[in-house]
Structure 1
Amino acid sequence: MSSTRPGGTRERIQAAALELFAVRGVQQTSLRAIAERLGITKPALYYHFGSRAELLHSLVQPVVDDVEMLLAEDEARGDGDARALLARYFDVAVMHRAITTVVFRDPAALAELDLAPRVLAWRRRLTALLAGPDPPLGAQARAMVAIGGMGDCIAMFAHRPVGELRAAVLDAACAALGVQPSP
């Protein structure tokens, strides 16, 4: 049985793996390197994660869960408040920025996780929420620019304070959509 207490071995393994993945890349990081970083044996690591792929999936699953929940809630809400949706999307994206940056910088990891189709489906759903049903191409393009631009800014400006980044990114995404920025 895996440790579930905060700061337990499972969480320490995930944190060490994320650090090493960010520096070396997923494919270049072995389970042995992760175990050595933590000062544990490889069998102890295997007790919690049977493979690097399983470990990687455990790091990505919270992103998947949070984005799916966000989309489901907004699809059910259907209030058409683009700025509020973009704000919620920003918050989820910035919360998971470390793992998404690792995955998108490593094409082999992206392929291993088979995330590309899921991310494209999320973009389609977000576009529908932002541009409405059966929107013209221009509205779809503005929604894609807003969504993609947010992701790019979160990755490229990771060194900026989140509050400052959030305001600037939301204003820019709203401008792409033709939505009034915040007062």
Structure 2
Amino acid sequence: MPRQRTGDTRARIQQAALELFAVQGMQQTSLQDIADRLGVTKPALYYHFASREDLLNSLVEPMIADFEAYAEGLRVAAPVSPRELLGSYFDLAYRHRAMIQLAIRDLSVLHELKLADRFIEWRGTLAELLIGPSPSLRDVVRCMVALGGLSDCAVMIEHTPVAELREAAVDAAYDSLGR
């Protein structure tokens, strides 16, 4: 029987952790729980991750890097049409929906990784690109409804074909902007 590659084992550990974190919460999930789920020893997990926090960081880092690159890419490409920005934001949120769901369901994840501040900063970048640097209160509210509603649709609505969901969510977000 061929030996499993380290990257495969690491990915299996991450997937099991994500599933358990989503069901039990991050604080309530131990490395032993993850080892038991995989049928491996706890020291085998330590070979790949020094701690539960290290494991959580490995799950979150790709999302953070993706959001950072996305926000910077939009700044460089500005101006971007509102519909194009909303569509690409939907795609980004949808791609990271499992991690975002975990952060929503277990607020300790947001706190521990200081994700709330990052999400606020990313949203601020998007808002400025959509409504400019000195918007009216009405524009700020419309923008928050558009971005919040769009990301909620991408993350929370299940059992709907993604293309259909994307079209409906982007249309609704665009309409919320009052354009």
TM-score normalised by L of structure 1: 0.91
- 1:160 is displaced (CA, Å) by 1.7
What is the match of residue 116 of structure 2? 116
Q: What pairs up with 1:21-40 in 2 under 5 angstroms?
A: 21-40=21-40
Higher relative CO (CA 8 A, sep ≥ 6), structure 1 or 2?
2
Q: Deviations over 1:91-131 (max 9, x none)?
A: 11001101110111111121111111111111111110111
Which residues of structure 1 form unaligned runs of 5+?
none
Structure 1 partner of 2:47 = 47
Paired-residue identity, %: 52
Does 2:16 correspond to 1:3?
A: no
**For the residues of structure 1 that align with 2:118 and 2:15, how far apart are their CA atoms?**
24
Q: Which residue of 2 aligns with 1:158?
A: 158
What secondary structure, in the 3-state scheme, does the structure 1 residue paired with 2:140 have?
A: helix
Task: Within 5 Å, give how 1:8-157 maps onto structure 2.
Answer: 8-157=8-157
After TM superposition, which residue ranges in structure 1, 4 or more long, deviate above 6 angstroms?
Answer: none
Q: CA deviation at 1:62?
A: 1.0
Gap runs ≥5 in structure 2: none
RMSD: 1.4
Give aligned pairs, total: 175
CA–CA distance in structure 2, aligned partners of residues 137 and 127 of structure 1 = 12
Contact map agreement 2:89 2:151 (CA 8 A) in 1? no
The letter for the 1-side match of 2:75 is E
Instruction: Give 3-state SS (helix, strand or coil) of 2:6's partner.
Output: coil
Superposition deviation, residue 40 in structure 1? 1.2
Return the alpha-carbon distance in structure 1 between the equivalents of residues 76 and 109 of structure 2. 32
Q: Which segment drifts farther, 85-94 or 134-143?
A: 134-143
Q: Which amino acid aligns with 1:99?
A: M
When normalised by structure 2's length, the TM-score is 0.93
